[in-house]
Homo-oligomer: A and B are copies of this chain.
C-alpha cells in the first residue's frame, strides 16, 4: 500500500482516527475535510461507515455543507472506493462511472473483530445497570453467532455464570466444550426465572410477551440485535422489566479500536485485490 495516495472521505471520529493510523503507517493521506473533494491524483478513496444514510448525501458530519452523492460519484470516475455499508443502489450508480466499490462491512473478519468492542460495551452497560456484580451473576446470552461467542467469552472471564441459548446441536456442543451452560430454545422459559441479566443477539423476536412473563422482574435485558431488535419492549415496560437497546457499540465505546479494525480490513482488501 506504500507510496499510494489515499483520500479519507467523510465519516465520523473513526475516519479521523483511520487517517491518523494510515499516516503512521507511512501512507500519503489526504482528508476530505481539509483537502477538499479533488480526487485527481488519488489512488484510493476510503469512505465512511455508512457511505450514506439517505442514499442521497454523503455521511460527512464534519463537512460544513451537505455533499450530494450523485455529483460526488461523477468526480470519482474510474477510481476505487472502499467504504462500509454501501447501498445496492449506490453501487449500481458507481458502476456507471466505472467506480470499483468495495464494502468492508460485509467482510467476515471485520464482523468478527467488531464483536469484541460490542461485547465490551455490553458488559459496561450491564455493570452500570445491575445492582449486583456480573461476577457470580446468572447471565444468559441468546444466540451463539459472532457477538454471542465473543460476549460469552468475556462474561466468563468476568466470572459470570454464563448460560447460552442456541438451537443447533453443534452449537450446544461448543457451548459445553467452552464450559458455558447450554440452554435449548425450547426449554428457555424454565431458565428465564433465575437469570439476572439477558443479552439478546438474535435478530428475531425471541423475547416476546410470552417469554418475558417468565423473567424475574429485577432482571436486566440488553438487546444487541439491530433494529427492530429481538425484544418486545412495550411488553417489557408493562411488566416493569428494564430493557436497553444498544446499537452501534464499537464506534461509541471504542472509536479508536473500531478504526483499527477498519484499517486492518482495508489492508486485507488491498492485499487480496492487488490495489
Question: In this assembly, does A116 line the interface, its C-beta being within 8 Å of a C-beta of chain B?
Answer: yes
- A134 CB contacts on chain B under 8 angstroms: 120
Quick one: which of A115, A132, A253, A256 has the most chain B CB within 10 A?
A132
Q: In the complex, A113→B173 CA distance in Å? A: 6
- CB within 8 Å for A255 and B135 given contacts A157-B159, A173-B108, A177-B116: no
Question: In this assembly, does A154 line the interface, its C-beta being within 8 Å of a C-beta of chain B?
Answer: yes
Q: Is the CB of B116 within 8 A of A135?
A: yes
Question: In this assembly, does A257 line the interface, its C-beta being within 8 Å of a C-beta of chain B?
Answer: yes
* Interface residues in A118-160 (C-beta closer than 8 Å to B): 120-121, 123-124, 127-128, 130-136, 150, 153-154, 156-159
* Interface residues in A159-187 (C-beta closer than 8 Å to B): 159, 169-170, 172-174, 176-179
- Per assembly, the copies of the chain total 4
Quick one: which of A110, A169, A173, A174 has the most chain B CB within 10 A?
A173
- A136 CB contacts on chain B under 8 angstroms: 116, 176, 179, 257
Question: In this assembly, does A109 line the interface, its C-beta being within 8 Å of a C-beta of chain B?
Answer: yes
Q: Which residue in B120, B178, B254 is a CB contact (below 8 Å) of A153?
A: B178
Q: Which residue in B17, B113, B157, B174 is a CB contact (below 8 Å) of A112?
A: B174
Q: Which residue in B132, B154, B169 is a CB contact (below 8 Å) of A256?
A: B132
A134 to chain B, nearest CB (A): 6
Question: In this assembly, does A229 line the interface, its C-beta being within 8 Å of a C-beta of chain B?
Answer: no
Q: Is the CB of B121 within 8 A of A127?
A: yes
Question: In this assembly, does A117 line the interface, its C-beta being within 8 Å of a C-beta of chain B?
Answer: yes
26 contacts between A and B (CB under 8 A): A109-B169, A110-B173, A112-B170, A112-B173, A112-B174, A113-B173, A113-B177, A116-B133, A117-B133, A117-B135, A120-B133, A123-B158, A124-B124, A124-B127, A124-B128, A130-B254, A131-B255, A131-B256, A135-B154, A136-B176, A136-B179, A150-B177, A154-B158, A157-B157, A159-B179, A169-B268
- A106 CB contacts on chain B under 8 angstroms: none
Question: In this assembly, does A93 line the interface, its C-beta being within 8 Å of a C-beta of chain B?
Answer: no
- A17 CB contacts on chain B under 8 angstroms: 131
Q: Is the CB of B120 within 8 A of A127?
A: yes
- A173 CB contacts on chain B under 8 angstroms: 108-110, 112-113
Q: In the complex, A133→B172 CA distance in Å? A: 18
Question: In this assembly, does A107 line the interface, its C-beta being within 8 Å of a C-beta of chain B?
Answer: yes
- A157 CB contacts on chain B under 8 angstroms: 154, 156-159
Q: Which residue in B123, B176, B257 is a CB contact (below 8 Å) of A113?
A: B176
Q: In the complex, A153→B159 CA distance in Å? A: 9
Give the 5 A-B residue pairs with the shortest CB-CB distance, closest first.
Answer: A157-B157, A112-B173, A131-B256, A109-B169, A109-B173
